[in-house]
Amino acid sequence: MRYLASVAVSLLLATVMVTPPFAVAGQQPASPSPVLTPERRETAGRIIGAALVDDTGWNRLAYIGDRIGHRLSGSAALEKAIVWAADEMRRDGLDNVRTEKVMVPHWVRGAESATLLEPVERDLSMLGLGNSVGTGPEGVTADVVVVSNYDELERLGEAVRGKIVCYNVPYTDYGATVQYRGSGASRAAKHGAVAVLVRSVGPVSLDTPHTGALRYDEAVAKIPAAAITIEGAETLGRMQSRGERLRLRLVMNAKMLPDVESANVVAELKGLQYPDQIILLAAHYDSWDTGTGSHDDAGGCIQIWEAIRLLKKLGLRPKRTIRVVLYTNEENGLRGGVEYLATHRAELANHLLAVETDSGTFKPEGLALTTTNEGLRALMADIMSLLEPIGAGKLAANGGGADIGPLMREGVPGGNLDVDSSTYFHYHHTHADTLDKIKPIDLKLCIAALAVMVYMAADVAVWPSTGKPA
Ligand SMILES: [Zn+2]
């Protein structure tokens, strides 16, 4: 606490020190920025300082991890978490706290295993992929063919019929590697494979399998699919390269049950002057049924919730409304994001900006923003410069997020909090995604960054180039 308090004080000083009239001559912008005033700099410093000495967010993140646990769509834990958050937000005195109904898929994992039978009998660490069909209680027993990419699969073609295809694809980056998890089952099923194993999508492993959603091509048979670890996939690859016969039994009691009711949790800091105009903060509350979903994405939920709670506590009420949405069902359906757009279509034009945080709770670096509005980009560049004292001042292009995707496709400018996510895919979708992988200081810095970012945007006198009043 003493350390954090002194950091807060030095940050306050740092922001005051760079305040004009001390700015270097010749470096003033052509027209004075509406946000880079001494008052704004002081306010930013005050928000940052308050975030650094407040443990409310950390305590709530710990509560979610320790007392609620993981929160897969359809689970009792997710619904408990939703009720708890809405109750706590009302206790915080936030505005218009509500839950908005969303019907979500209800996939359950059931007991599962992968047992190598030949050339040696051995259980492999595994996690069935979300939305996968099951194998039936007897499981699927078949020979395994290891491939290192889709080209190899296509070359083998009919040779994989009746077999289990194992994709041993080394991780390059998430986007490039995750396609094997997403579409590997249907690609193999086209050639008659009976099941699929996917090397976990991550750069390192401590025998940690990573789950995640797959998408079936409705035109081909749905076959069961599971992730195995890097260690497991490498073992199978070595055995095959030595010419050994690989035989494996995969048992998955996974099944998709009828949709169930869930909800997005919504809370606001109502704007003083233009309450109908909305700056939206997004994160997803559901998680995989592994670990406690602390990085993905309970931490993001706490970041955005704390951002407005902190502003309220500081008596900082902006001109426009800041709306926080804890989305349900990002992981295996995206129903929360889709339903939000359907529910709020009438006020779509009032959504000025949406910012999502779903890259883990790590040291914040800045904002990645997608917009064709150059005035907005310039405004956000100025705002982000207020976060340089905590190293979070970067403005990058091509931001966004899964939950705000439906809004962005309708033209709402969207972005995401950029963080140092260099270790995110060590934990992502694994049993290791737990609270101890998050540093309290990083959570506080993320809260500070988001609070400054959205307060300054929501409070600007004139919204860039949209012609909206004053
Ligand atoms: Zn996520």
DSSP state string for 26-48: T-S-SS--SS-SHHHHHHHHHHH
What pLDDT score was predicted for residue 35?
A: 83
Is CATH 3.50.30.30 the right assignment for the domain spanning 110-253?
Answer: yes
**Catalytic site residue from 330, 331, 356, 365:** 330
Q: How far is CA 103 from CA 282, 293, 328, 334, 408, in A?
A: 19, 21, 9, 11, 22
Q: Which of 190, 206, 216, 210 is nearest to 198 (CA)?
A: 210
Predicted confidence pLDDT, tens digits, the chain (470 residues): 444 444 444 444 444 444 433 334 444 445 567 788 999 999 999 999 999 999 999 999 999 999 999 999 999 999 999 999 999 999 999 999 999 999 999 999 999 999 999 999 999 999 999 999 999 999 999 999 999 999 999 999 999 999 999 999 999 999 999 999 999 999 999 999 999 999 999 999 999 999 999 999 999 999 999 999 999 999 999 999 999 999 999 999 999 999 999 999 999 999 999 999 999 999 999 999 999 999 999 999 999 999 999 999 999 999 999 999 999 999 999 999 999 999 999 999 999 999 999 999 999 999 999 999 999 999 999 999 999 999 999 999 999 999 999 999 999 999 999 999 999 999 999 999 999 999 999 999 999 999 999 999 999 999 997 544 44
Q: Matching CATH topology for 2-104+259-459 and 110-253?
A: no
Q: Which residue stretches of 146-287 are H helix?
A: 150-156, 174-189, 230-241
Q: Can you name the CATH fold of 2-104+259-459?
A: Aminopeptidase (3.40.630)
**Residue 293 Cα, ligand 1 centroid: separation in angstroms?**
9
**Residue 206 Cα, ligand 1 centroid: separation in angstroms?**
21
What pLDDT score was predicted for residue 28?
A: 47
Contact residues for 50 (Cβ-Cβ < 8 A; gap 6+): 8, 310, 313, 314
**Residue 169 Cα, ligand 1 centroid: separation in angstroms?**
22
**Residue 249 Cα, ligand 1 centroid: separation in angstroms?**
31
Strands 122-124 and 414-419: what pairing? unpaired
Are the C-beta atoms of 57 and 451 separated by less than 8 Å? Answer: no
Indicate the SS3 state at residue 454. helix
Q: Which of 212, 218, 154, 148 is nearest to 188 (CA)?
A: 154
Instruction: Give me the residue spans of the domains in the chain.
Output: 2-104+259-459, 110-253
Strands 195-199 and 274-284: what pairing? unpaired
**Residue 247 Cα, ligand 1 centroid: separation in angstroms?**
35
CA distance 418 to 364: 6
330: annotated active-site residue:
yes
Residues in a beta bridge with 123: 115
Q: How many CB atoms lie within 10 A of CB 174?
A: 14
Place of tokens 């307060």: 455
Radius of gyration, alpha carbons of the chain:
24
CA distance 189 to 233: 20
What pLDDT score was predicted for residue 141?
A: 98
Q: pTM score, two decimals? A: 0.92
CA distance 416 to 419: 9
**Residue 256 Cα, ligand 1 centroid: separation in angstroms?**
21
